[in-house]
Structure 1
């Protein structure tokens, strides 16, 4: 499981039938900044994730990849390898708040 930030969306008008109606978002995984450990920083990678929660651009989300992406009731029959499983409200590291939604 990873924390990622939604940076955009993907529109695909031609796709396999099972993917019709599923929202696809571009997500960028983040990690704890190693020196000061007071903020989140990008890993420099991006993925396309299936969104089942209604996340939006700029939201920090929880993602899972690989076979874990097909373990939710909404995604068990989809040909995906990355899904958003949560929208992050806050992140605390060593009693310090490094992220709070809507700030």
Structure 2
């Protein structure tokens, strides 16, 4: 889980990132308190700054973008936003 805290604009980037919105996310715990560090995530769900989101990392992050060209040899993405959290229930 993470909170979107900003966005990144990069005019020069790896071809696998062209057309993807890049957001700065801060991981949070179930009390919505920040943990760890900020990182950049590709956004597949049109999240906005201030949204609490679900993120995946590693191989899952590379597979999360369904619009990805299957013939693409490499995808450098290591963190992807895959959902927007509506609420936390404990």
- Could you list the runs of 5+ residues in structure 1 that have no partner in the other structure? 33-38, 94-103
The structure with higher relative contact order (CA 8 Å, sep 6+) is 2
CA distance in 1, matches of 2:42, 2:27: 14
Confirm or deny that 1:89 pairs with 2:86.
Answer: yes
Structure possessing the higher radius of gyration over alpha carbons: 1
What number of residue pairs does the alignment pair up? 85
- Could you list the runs of 5+ residues in structure 2 that have no partner in the other structure? none
| CA RMSD across the alignment | 1.5
Given that 1:6 and 1:58 are in contact with CA atoms closer than 8 Å, whether structure 2 keeps it comes out as yes
1:42 to 23, 34, 49: 34
Farther-moved stretch of structure 1 (13-22 vs 59-68):
13-22
| Deviations 1:42-95, CA, capped at 9 Å, x for gaps | 1041110000111000000000111111122235753100000000101101xx
Which structure shows the higher strand fraction? 1
CA distance in 2, matches of 1:58, 1:40: 12
Using structure 1 for the length normalisation, give the TM-score.
0.75
Structure 1 runs (4+) greater than 4 angstroms displaced: none
Q: Which residue of 2 aligns with 1:17?
A: 15
